[in-house]
Amino acid sequence: MYDGIKGFRDFYPGEMAARRATIDTLEDTARSYGFREIGTPALERAEMWTDKSGDDIVDELYSFEDQGGRHVTLTPELTPTVARMVVAKQQALSKPIKWFSTRPFWRYEQVQQGRQREFYQTNVDIFGSEEPEADAEILAWAADALTGLGLTGEHFEFRISHRDILEGVLESYEADVDTEAAIRAVDKSDKISQVEYHDLLIGAGLSADQAVEFDDLIAGGDLEEVKAFADTERVTAAVENLQNVLEAAEDFGAREYCTISLETARGLDYYTGVVFECFDSAGEVSRSIFGGGRYDDLIEGFGGQPTPAVGVAPGHATLPLLMQRAGVWPEEEVTTDYYVLQIGDTRPEAARIVRDLRDRGHVVETDVAGRSFGAQLNYADSINAETVVIVGEQDLENDEVTIKDMESGDQAQVPVDSFPGDLERPTFDDLE
């Protein structure tokens, strides 16, 4: 026996059916917005991460030297990859570029609730528009996808902020403040004590009094108060942009899910404007469900022409936690429309019925193991077959087959030549 690797999960058919239903909803919603599906590689050059974040990030990657002497890594996130793809064909791509994909990623980190070392995300991005409507469309897609899964405003909220508001307020202090360190402290603020949070702000360059003042201002979330405190062009423009995004979100049907939360910072350095995170409204899921935001400088940083961008990436480890809490996680079971049961030498007629039913788009199984009548019926029950079509030698002598409803146990004989006939989905009720 071999044990699975820590942080890597197996998904058996029942759970995979629930995951597939969830992914299909997210992707179908993306398609309805005009997002186009892309495919991306599992392996990238490690420099795509080390050049930006330094060699220390290697400890968080599944990186190695390949046989060609290249330093490569299993991709820990999608954004640098899609940035590379945009740069490669930037002139040929119609703008705005609207892409989505669902795939696994890998990070070597501590395994905990909602966090694995191999994890799956659905990434949805818009490249080529700096307008507030692009941010609002990302929010609207996320809201429509979640409500399509059966969630409501009682279950989730989007906490929305703007990176320039935080950076502008920090820059308004005369002290030499490390704004990136301070923003990382803000991003951690809901996971640590207030004392620890203030210590991090002080470590970033604020005085003790300034740390308290900054904390109170940001926690208050009053945009007019923020503008009055940091009366700079940068903060004023950021507040106006955030308000414009929220106004567009109102028109797009997503505003009711949005709460201004200036403590929402998103720790990644490449975010440049509006940022948001989705949280469980009841607070029972302790961490954010997913997040997103604007990253206008990334394409240029990868050698392309300046290209604004905004995106979001729901994760398929945390999203099920919210759905389960809300009672909308799909049933973890397989379902089958028909099981065609064979008794005796009836394979040719049984196979014809199987083909006809599958041609109509149904899920159909039949015996491939030479089992007895009872074993086949038990198997049909185990795969939640709705209808069993019994093709037996005695029935065929009378030019009939038996149709059995598995829920009620009722059954009836019908002419074999007229089954399935002209009916798209014939069941026992249709044949009474």
Report d(CA 111, CA 125) in Å as an integer. 27
Asked if residue 298 lies in contact with residue 323, where contact means CB atoms within 8 angstroms, the answer is no
| H or E element in which residue 280 lies | strand 274-280
Query: Reading across the β-sheet that carries 43-45, which strands appear in turn?
Result: 43-45, 71-74, 62-65
Tokens representing residue 290 in the block: 């997913």
- 266 assigned ligand-binding residue: yes
- 246 assigned ligand-binding residue: no
Helices (H), 77-178: 79-88, 132-148, 163-171
**For residue 402, which amino acid is it?**
T
Q: Is 75 exposed, middle or buried (0-12, 13-18, 19+ CB in 10 A)?
A: buried
- 339 assigned ligand-binding residue: no
Q: What is the 3-class SS of 236-260, one letter each residue?
A: HHHHHHHHHHHHHHHHHCCHHHEEE
Which residue's structure tokens are 């599906």? 37
- 270 assigned ligand-binding residue: yes
Handedness of CA 378, 383, 384, 385 (dihedral sign): negative
Q: Pick the closest to residue 405 from 392, 389, 394 (CA basis).
A: 389
- 107 assigned ligand-binding residue: yes
| H or E element in which residue 356 lies | helix 347-359
Torsion-angle region of 281 (φ positive above 0: left; ψ -120 to 50: alpha; else: beta): alpha
**Strands 336-343 and 385-392, how do they pair?**
parallel
Binding residues: 77-79, 107, 121, 125, 266, 270-271
Binding residues for L-histidine: 77-79, 107, 121, 125, 266, 270-271
